[in-house]
Amino acid sequence: MRIASFNINGIKARLPALLDWLSESKPDVVLLQEIKSIDENFPREPIEDLGYHVETHGQKSFNGVAILSRLPIEDVTRGLPGDPDDEQARWIEATVIGDEGAVRVCGLYLPNGNPVPGPKFDYKLAWMDRLFDRAQALFDAEEPALMAGDYNIIPAPDDAARPKDWWGDALYRPESLAAWRRVVNIGFTEAFRARDAAPMNYTFWDYQAGAWNKNDGIRIDHFLLTPAAADRLVDCQIDRHVRGREKPSDHVPIWVELAL
DNA sequence: ATGCCCGATTATATCGGA
């Protein structure tokens, strides 16, 4: 099955582009971030018409995640455990039933964290502590599972066109990288680097300053796989061409193919 | 050093994004 992640930067503004991409790419499952919509206003019908179940976890104006699936899904849960006072919609999970087995999929929109220092950066690091706990539990379950989405983390210098200019930003600084590595080092496989070591592959290009035309991007959308899921990894690709279309998101889709 | 661009909001400027 093919599972994609796509930060769409607003479902209302991105619906035509999303429908075009769904129609041609035909992923089995899509994890969406930044729907920027309450659940009641999410345009379910045109997506359901393409054969997808729609599960949303939205909020007004900002954030918001969703799962689209052409395969049966079960046990949908919303919100990252660990802080009942957290009102930001950044996490959704479901179990997808494939022909050859099930996989637990977690869609996430990790906080940006800028400016540093400040409460937004503190929130990012606290959120990543909670992510670690959920990741550890998924790992301990010894089942196929993945956590995918907009991590707002630049893992390594090759993951930015201008790494020196990014250094110190909340996406690329020691505390952020330590928190990222702590999660990965539980024993997760980062799917893109496991399949393609080539540099200059990015998933985000700023709308400003001609970033797309200069390929001045960063790779911040990631798939982390448990060992049982990594054993089934067939491919991982970035749909970079989507960035060059009419009215694009500033992110592009990234997807994995799993033998499930 | 700042803004550039873009989306959402009971908006016509401000905030958040990365």
Which CATH number characterizes residue A38's domain?
Answer: 3.60.10.10
Q: Is A235 annotated as a binding residue?
A: no
Sign of the dihedral through C-alpha A6, A168, A63, A245:
negative
Q: Compute the average pLDDT of residues A44-61.
A: 97
Distance A101 CA to B10 C1' (A): 48
Distance A138 CA to B9 C1' (A): 38
Encoding tokens for residue A142?
């010894």
Q: Compute the average pLDDT of residues A174-189.
A: 98
Q: Is A132 left (phi over 0), alpha (psi -120 to 50) or beta?
A: alpha
Is A37 within 7 A of strand B by CB distance?
yes
Which tens digit of pLDDT belongs to each residue from A115-166? Answer: 999 999 999 999 999 999 999 999 999 999 999 999 999 999 999 999 999 9
Which tens digit of pLDDT belongs to each residue from A67-124? Answer: 999 999 999 999 999 999 999 999 999 999 999 999 999 999 999 999 999 999 999 9
Average pLDDT, chain A: 97
- So what's the pLDDT on residue A197? 81
Q: Is A150 annotated as a binding residue?
A: yes
Q: How confident is the model at residue A239 (pLDDT cuts 50, 70, 90)?
A: very high
Is A214 within 7 A of strand B by CB distance?
no
Q: Which residue has the tokens 């920027």?
A: A36
Q: Is A159 annotated as a binding residue?
A: no
Annotated catalytic residue, options A52, A109, A151, A172: A109
- So what's the pLDDT on residue A9? 97
- Whole-number percent of chain A with pLDDT over 70: 100
Amino acid identity for residue A91 in this structure: W
Structural domain span for residue A66: 2-258
The CA distance from A123 to A86, in Å, is 10
pTM of the model: 0.97
Which residues are A92's β-sheet partners?
A78, A107
Is A34 within 7 A of strand B by CB distance?
yes
| Strand B bases within 7 angstroms of protein beta carbons | 3-10, 16-18
Phi, psi of A167 (to 5 degrees): -60, 130
Q: Which residue has the tokens 């957290």?
A: A86
Q: Which residue has the tokens 């393609």?
A: A196
Split into its structural domains, chain A has a count of 1
Length of chain A equals 260
Nucleotide with C1' nearest the A247 CA: B6
- So what's the pLDDT on residue A196? 82
Q: What is the 3-state secondary structure (H, E, C) of chain A?
A: CEEEEEECCCHHHHHHHHHHHHHHHCCCEEEEECCCCCHHHCCHHHHHCCCCEEEEECCCCCCCEEEEECCCEEEEEECCCCCCCCCCCCEEEEEEEECCEEEEEEEEECCCCCCCCCHHHHHHHHHHHHHHHHHHHHHHCCCCEEEEEECCCCCCHHHECCHHHHCCCCCCCHHHHHHHHHHHCCCCEEHHHHHCCCCCCCCEECCCCCCCCCCCEECCEEEEECHHHHCCEEEEEECHHHHHCCCCCCECCEEEEECC
Residue nearest to nucleotide B9 (CA to C1'): A61
Q: Compute the average pLDDT of residues A18-26.
A: 98
Annotated catalytic residue, options A28, A150, A159, A169: A150
The CA distance from A210 to A163, in Å, is 17
pLDDT exceeds 90 at position A10: yes
Is there a catalytic annotation at residue A251? Answer: yes
Is there a catalytic annotation at residue A129? Answer: no
pLDDT exceeds 90 at position A208: yes
